[in-house]
Amino acid sequence: AQEGALLGGYAFDKYLAKPSKPLPVQLVVKTDALPGLRRTLATERETLACVNFARDVLNEPANVIFPQSLAEAFQSFGGEAGLRVTVWNEKRLEKERCEGILSVGKGSSWKPRLVIGRYAPKNAKGHLALVGKGVTFDTGGYCLKTAAGQKGMKMDMGGAAMVFGAACAIARAELPIQVSVYTPLAHNDISSTAYHTTDVLTMRSGRTVQVDNTDAEGRLILADALDVAKEDEPDWIIDAATLTGAAVVALGEDIAAAYGTNRDFTASLLEAAAEVGEYLWE
Active site residues: 145, 219
Residue burial 194-215, b: 16+ Cβ < 10 Å; e: rest: bbeeeeebebbeeeebebeebb
Rounded to the nearest 10 degrees, what angle do helices 158-172 and 67-81 cross at? 10
Query: What distance in Å separates the CA atoms of residue 46 and residue 111, rounded to the nearest whole number?
Result: 32
Residue type, 162: M
User: What does DSSP say about strands 208-210 and 178-188: parallel, antiparallel, or unpaired?
Assistant: unpaired
Candidates 51, 48, 52, 50; CA nearest to 14 is: 52
Query: What distance in Å separates the CA atoms of residue 69 and residue 41, rounded to the nearest whole number?
Result: 32
The string of DSSP letters for 37-91 reads HHHHHHHHHHHHHHHHHHHHHHHS-TTTSSHHHHHHHHHHHHHHHT-EEEEE-HH
Strands (E), 83-225: 84-88, 113-119, 127-132, 134-138, 178-188, 200-202, 208-210
Query: What distance in Å separates the CA atoms of residue 155 and residue 20, rounded to the nearest whole number?
Result: 23
Candidates 146, 165, 158; CA nearest to 185 is: 158
